[in-house]
Amino acid sequence: MRRLSPVLLVLLAFTAHAAELTSGVRSKIAAGDLATGMAQVEDYKLATGVDAEYLNAVGWLARGAELLGQPERARQFVAELHREIPDEKEGLITPYGAAIEVEGRLLAKTDGRGTAIRYYEDQLAKAKAPELRSRIAKNINLLSLEGEPAPALVLTDFVGKQAPTLASLRGKPVVLFFFAEWCGDCKGQSASLGRIWEKYRDRVAMIAVTRLYGGPSAKPLTPDEEKAEIAKVWKETYGPLADVPIVVSTESMIRYGGSATPTFALLDKRGVVRLYTPTRLSEATLAARLDALLAEPAP
C-alpha cells in the first residue's frame, strides 16, 4: 500500500479539521457551551489562519453569544466579521450576513425595534445576492410581518398547476411553505405537513414557494432542469401534497425571507399574517394554529 507523505497527511488533517469546525461550534452553542466553541475557533485560527471556514464559525459564535445573553462578546465577534469582510463578497455571504443579523438583533435590544428595522432596511438596500437579501428580509419580517397584510406572491413561474392569488383566497386560512428541493429539514417536515393537508385541505389553502438556486451540485442546472428536479423531489418526498401549487419566485422568497428553509407563514381569513417562523413546525403546533384561525369569524 502506498504511504502518504507527511505534508499530504497534514493537509488532509487541516481539511478534515476545517470541515468539522463550524458543525462543532454549532453543537457546542446548542449545548450552551460558548467557551468551548470559542476555544475551537481560536485553535483553528492558530493552525490555519483566517479563511471562509473560520469566518463562518465566528458568525456562529456571534449568534451564539447573542442568543446566550452575552451581548459584549457578540459585539466583539460582529466587529471582527466587519473588519475581515467590510463589503459583500462572494464566498463569504454567510458570515457577512451573520454580522448584519446579529448587529440588528443587538440594536433591537438596546435601541428598540424601530432602530433595528431601519438598520436592516438600510442593509437590504445595499445587498445584492438573493441569499443575503432573503436573510436580511427574514430579520425584518421577524420584527414586523405578523399582524400585517400578507405581501402578494409573484406568480409568473411555477411547477405543476398555477397558484391562485392570495387575494382570491380570502375567507379561509392559508399556509405558505417556503422550501428548497435539496433542503433536508424541508424533507423532514414533509410527513407531518402531508398529514395536516389531508386533515384540513377542505377548509385551508396551501401554497409552496421556492426559487431557482442553480442546483446544489458542482454542475449548475438550467432553469428547466432545476424545475424538473423540484417536480421530481416534490412527487417522491411530498406525496400527499401533490396537488399543492408550487410558486417559483426569487422575489417572493426574498420578500418572505426564505433564507432558512423551511419557513412558514400562516394567514388568517382576512389575509393577515398571524404566524411567521423561519423554522420547522411540529404537527401539533400547526394544527393548533389552524384550528384557532378556523374558529375566527369570516371577514
pLDDT values of the chain reduced to their tens digit, one per residue, 299 residues: 344 343 333 333 333 345 689 999 999 999 999 999 999 999 999 999 999 999 999 999 999 999 999 999 999 999 999 999 999 999 999 999 999 999 999 999 999 999 999 999 999 999 999 999 999 999 999 999 999 999 999 999 999 999 999 999 999 999 999 999 999 999 999 999 999 999 999 999 999 999 999 876 667 899 999 999 999 999 999 999 999 999 999 999 999 999 989 999 999 999 999 999 999 999 999 999 999 999 999 88
Q: Are 273 and 142 in contact (CB under 8 A)?
A: no
Cell (9 digits) for 250: 426569487
Q: Copy the grid coordinates of residue 255.
A: 420578500
Choosing among 1.10.1740, 1.25.40, 3.30.70, 1.10.8, the CATH entry for 6-144 is: 1.25.40
What residues are paired with 210 via a beta bridge? 248
18-19-24 Cα angle (round to 5): 90
Residue 20's pLDDT is: 87
Question: Rounded to an integer, what distance in angstroms lies between the CA atom of residue 163 and that of residue 200?
Answer: 18
Residue type, 102: V
What number does CATH give the domain 158-295?
Answer: 3.40.30.10
Counted residue by residue, the chain has a size of: 299
Supply the angle between the helices 223-237 and 184-200 in degrees, to the nearest 10: 60
Angstrom distance (rounded) from CA 160 to CA 293: 28
Q: Which residue, 50, 75, 55, is CA-closest to 65?
A: 75
pLDDT score for 151:
98
| Interatomic CA distance for residues 104 and 115, integer angstroms | 8
Spell out the domain ranges in the chain. 6-144, 158-295
| Contact of 159 with 227, CB cutoff 8 Å | yes
- Radius of gyration over every alpha carbon of the chain, rounded to an integer in angstroms: 21
Task: Tell me if residue 149 falls in helix, strand or coil.
Answer: strand
The predicted model scores a pTM of: 0.91
